[in-house]
């Protein structure tokens, strides 16, 4: 049981809002921790992108789980694992929760899409949802499977993403709360916060809401806090996008310049990578143990 499991719950139970940033590998997870976020989002989108794949259930549970375990090994922040649909039905969800909890996650987000899923923010994506009853079974299975009651089961409804409207989104969220979810993640791909603000103001449930404001960046932390019902705000894919921006710029500069003479000044020195790799520890241990 990871000692950080309680951390996120303590933040929102005391009226706060946890700020959680996506990561796609242990190195980005270390940077998330050093930057000062409250938790790490083990994003399916980011990991798929890092594998050069679309986020459409191509990456297996074992691959995502192993990546998440490696993040947990190198960081101390709570990790919210994005387990998509739970990789199948309620039986798959039981196995998924057992595996992610044992590997060091502090929470899972399970979404009410049909397996295989299609990424949420893509234009014209096929967005099929499972029935409310089926998803309630999956949430109940997740709760049954967790060992630590502080391990969070976050139910994500894609009703707005699927164009089903606010009434169905609220109905689904209520049903998932009744099934025992600790929080509701409501996702939207509208370009402004209106759709989410309307959902939040009409939410009568007792559990807090999680949002991922990628599509509507006008939703600042201050604005989200003012809604009073947001327990966790997840920045969904900014680590992998920052990595792509950084690499594209530097790689293009090296091609342009015909060498590394200028690019070298714009990137971190190799010593910074040694620091992130904990090379000092290796050196100390060499002195102590190598004979
Ligand atoms: C992810 O980061 O994998 C998410 C958020 O699920 S989104 O890609 O916006 O659906
Ligand atoms: Mg995802």
DSSP string across 56-98: TT-S-HHHHHHHHHHHHHH--S-EEEE-TT-SSSHHHHHHHHH
Range of the domain at 249: 244-289
Neighbours of 118 (CB within 10 A): 18
- pLDDT for the residue numbered 54: 98
Residue in 24, 111, 233, 236 to alter for ligand 1 test, most ligand atoms within 8 A of Cβ: 236
Same domain, yes or no: 255 and 134: no
Among candidate residues 199, 214, 236, the one where a domain is terminated: 236
Same domain, yes or no: 152 and 263: no
Same domain, yes or no: 251 and 228: no
- pLDDT for the residue numbered 4: 84
Over residues 29-55, the pLDDT tens digits come to: 999 999 999 999 999 999 999 999 999
CA 4 to centroid of ligand 1, rounded, Å: 23
Residue 1 lies in a domain: no
Q: Which of 93, 105, 180 shows the shortest CA–CA distance to 142? A: 93
Distance CA 173, CA 155 (A): 8
* Atom number in ligand 1 closest to CA 215: 9
Tokens read off for 283 = 């050196």
Residue 39, φ and ψ in degrees, nearest 5: -165, 170
Distance CA 187, CA 44 (A): 15
Q: Is 55 tagged catalytic? A: yes
Our answer on whether the CB atom of 213 is closer than 6 Å to any ligand 1 atom is no
Same domain, yes or no: 229 and 255: no
Same domain, yes or no: 166 and 215: yes
Which SS3 state, helix, strand or coil, does residue 153 take?
strand
Same domain, yes or no: 166 and 261: no
Same domain, yes or no: 232 and 254: no
Our answer on whether the CB atom of 45 is closer than 6 Å to any ligand 1 atom is yes
Give the ligand whose atoms come closest to the C-alpha of residue 84. Answer: 2
In the predicted model, residues of the chain with pLDDT beneath 50 are none
Same domain, yes or no: 157 and 283: no
- pLDDT for the residue numbered 2: 64
Residue 2 lies in a domain: no
Give the ligand whose atoms come closest to the C-alpha of residue 57. Answer: 2
* Atom number in ligand 1 closest to CA 22: 2
Number of domains in the chain: 2
How many degrees, rounded to 5, is the angle at CA 216 between CA 245 and CA 18? Answer: 85
Our answer on whether the CB atom of 43 is closer than 6 Å to any ligand 1 atom is yes
CA 274 to centroid of ligand 2, rounded, Å: 31
- Rounded to two decimals, the pTM is 0.98
Q: Which of 234, 235, 231 shows the shortest CA–CA distance to 14? A: 231
Our answer on whether the CB atom of 48 is closer than 6 Å to any ligand 1 atom is no
Quick one: 283 exposed, middle or buried, by C-beta within 10 A (0-12, 13-18, 19+)?
Answer: exposed
Give the ligand whose atoms come closest to the C-alpha of residue 212. Answer: 1
C-alpha distance from residue 147 to each of 14, 104, 135, 177, 209 (Å) = 24, 12, 21, 20, 23
- pLDDT for the residue numbered 24: 98
> Which residues have a Cβ under 8 Å from the Cβ of 218 and sit 6 or more positions away?
192, 193
């Amino acid at each position: 049981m990871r000692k950080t499991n309680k951390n996120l719950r303590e933040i929102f139970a005391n009226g706060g809002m946890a700020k959680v940033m996506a990561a796609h590998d242990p190195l980005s997870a270390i940077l998330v921790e050093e930057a000062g976020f409250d938790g790490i989002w083990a994003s399916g989108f980011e990991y798929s992108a890092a594998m050069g794949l679309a986020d459409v259930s191509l990456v297996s549970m074992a691959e995502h789980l192993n990546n998440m375990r490696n993040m947990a090994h190198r960081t101390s922040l709570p990790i919210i694992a994005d387990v998509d649909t739970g990789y199948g039905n309620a039986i798959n969800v039981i196995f998924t929760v057992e595996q992610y909890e044992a590997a060091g996650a502090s929470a899972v987000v399970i979404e009410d899409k049909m397996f295989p899923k299609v990424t949420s923010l893509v234009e014209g994506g096929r967005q099929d949802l499972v029935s409310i009853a089926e998803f309630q079974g999956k949430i109940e299975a997740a709760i049954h499977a967790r060992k630590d009651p502080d391990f969070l089961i976050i139910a994500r409804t894609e009703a707005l993403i699927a164009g089903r409207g606010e009434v169905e989104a609220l109905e689904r969220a209520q049903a998932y709360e009744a099934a025992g979810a600790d929080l509701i993640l409501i996702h939207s791909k509208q370009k402004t916060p209106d759709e989410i603000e309307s959902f939040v103001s009409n939410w009568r449930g007792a559990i807090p809401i999680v949002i991922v404001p990628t599509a509507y960046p006008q939703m600042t932390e201050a604005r989200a806090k003012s809604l009073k019902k947001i327990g966790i705000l997840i920045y969904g894919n900014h680590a992998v996008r920052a990595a792509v921006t950084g690499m594209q710029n530097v790689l293009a500069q090296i091609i342009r310049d015909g060498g590394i003479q200028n690019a070298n000044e714009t990137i971190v020195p190799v010593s910074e990578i040694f620091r992130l790799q904990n090379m000092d520890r290796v050196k100390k241990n060499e002195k102590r143990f190598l004979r």
